[in-house]
Every structure is written in C-alpha cells, then in structure tokens.
Amino acid sequence: MLFFTQCFGAVLDLIHLRFQHYKAKRVFSAAGQLVCVVNPTHSLKYAPTRCAAVQASTEQGILPPCHHHEVVHDPQLVPCTCPLFSCPWEGHLEVVVSHLRQTHRINILQGAEIVFLATDMHLPAPTDWIIMHSCLGHQFLLVLRKQEKHEGHPQFFATMMLIGTPTQANNFTYRLELNRNQRRLKWEATPRSILECVDSVISDGDCLVLNTSLAQLFSDNGSLAIGIAITTSKVHSSEAEM
C-alpha cells in the first residue's frame, strides 16, 4: 500500500514539474534558452543575520566567518556561504560548489545564457530562490530574495555572486533581465565574490530591486522569469556609452 502511495506521489511530482517546465517554455518560447524552474526555500537563518553575528564576533575579537569586501589572496579555509542556513562547515574555496550541491541541494546549470524561473512568488517573506550557474569556467550563485525592509512591504532583491575571489569576480559582468507586459528591466553589474556577504549586498540594495507591484507586472501566474547572462569583457570602461 505504502509503495503505491509513494508511486502516486512521484507521478504527481512529475506532472507538477512538467507543468512548470511547460509554463516556462511558454514564457520563453521564442528564446530557445535553457529554462530552470527554481522552487522557493523559506530561509531559516534571519534575525540576527550572519553579518550581524560577524560584527558581534569581530567586536569580541573572534575571527569573523564572513569577510565583507575583503580579499582572500591565498587558498584558505572559508565558511559555508549558503545564504539559507547557518552552517558550521568550513573548507577550501574549490570545494564550496560540491558542499553547496551535496549538503544544501542547490542545483547547478550550464550555459552562458539561462532563464531562472522562480515559482510561488506570493509566499511570505523571508524566502529565497537559489541556483548555481556554471559558465566561462567558473561557478556563480544566483540569489533572489523576498524580504521586508519596511514592515508590511516585501521587496525582491536579485544578485549574482562568483564562487571565487573578488579579484576573479572583477573579470566578469552579469546581466539580469525581466521582460513582460510591455516593460523591460535590465540590471548589469560586476558580480561580488562569494567571500563577501550576500546579506550585506542585499541590505545595501546594490542589486536588482523590485517592489511587489513591479514583481507582479513581470510575473506570470505566480512565477517570475529572470534572464541571466554572464560575459567576461570589461564593457563598463566606457561609462559614457548610453
């Protein structure tokens, strides 16, 4: 009996995934891009944030687990950088990806341009949508977060972090693009290094920021599609080019 119940559950899951993928393909039918359906995770590690904890431990003279805007020149032990959990893991930068995949079950996608389809945007804050993106010989972490900076007014924050050092991150540009309902919003920036705190990038607002009404305009049936592209060229040197 238990076997049949499990089988039925698996079939339902498959139908749900098929439906999500169909929905994504409908949104990006002409694009021919790889669409990744990303389900939300209710974050377990807010209040106090990791960065607040870091600040407290720095004040007490304890080695901080998260270096904000600090360059790590040599391969050293780094803490787990998963934005979802306060994880005690430490390891070399080279094994962060396998830790995130194996322990935190974060999916990884290949390709220069992909579409990140975040489902269930209506879920209450705080909620995160996370994937890793493998591209140009490096891995990136894309974080979309729903958070209330002002009570009762949730906002969406999206950023991309390189799983590498800040020096390596400076060689890339990432682009996030929303396109629906006769509106288009593009954000281009240099990715931050995963050694910097994703929490501080989001609390500084130095990322793509969407209020709820804009997120609704860009979403289709509760799902938000974000086009992602990564390039190596330093296009920003000509800042005047508009």
Nearer to its own copies, 5 or 238 (CB): 238
Q: Give me the 100-139 binding string for its own copies, x by CB under 8 A, dash otherwise.
A: -------------x-x------------------------
Closest by alpha carbon to 40, among 150, 152, 180, 147?
Answer: 147
- Tell me the window of 57-65, 66-74, 91-99, 145-153 that interacts with its own copies (CB under 8 A): 145-153
Q: Segment 169-188, which members bind its own copies (CB under 8 A)?
A: 173, 177, 179-188
Applying CB under 8 A, which of residues 34, 53, 108, 217 lies at the interface with its own copies? Answer: 217
Please state the three-class secondary structure of 205-228 as a single string.
Answer: CCCEEEEHHHHHHHEECCEEEEEE
Following CA atoms 19, 21, 25, 28 in sequence, which dihedral angle do they give, to the nearest 10 degrees? 120
In the chain, where does DSSP find H-type helix? Answer: 2-27, 50-59, 96-102, 166-169, 198-204, 212-218
Q: Least distance to its own copies from the beta carbon of 147, Å?
A: 13
CA–CA distance, 189 with 170 (Å, rounded to integer): 10
Per CB under 8 A, residues contacting its own copies are: 27-31, 33, 113, 115, 149-150, 153, 173, 177, 179-190, 204-206, 209, 211-214, 217, 227, 236, 238-242
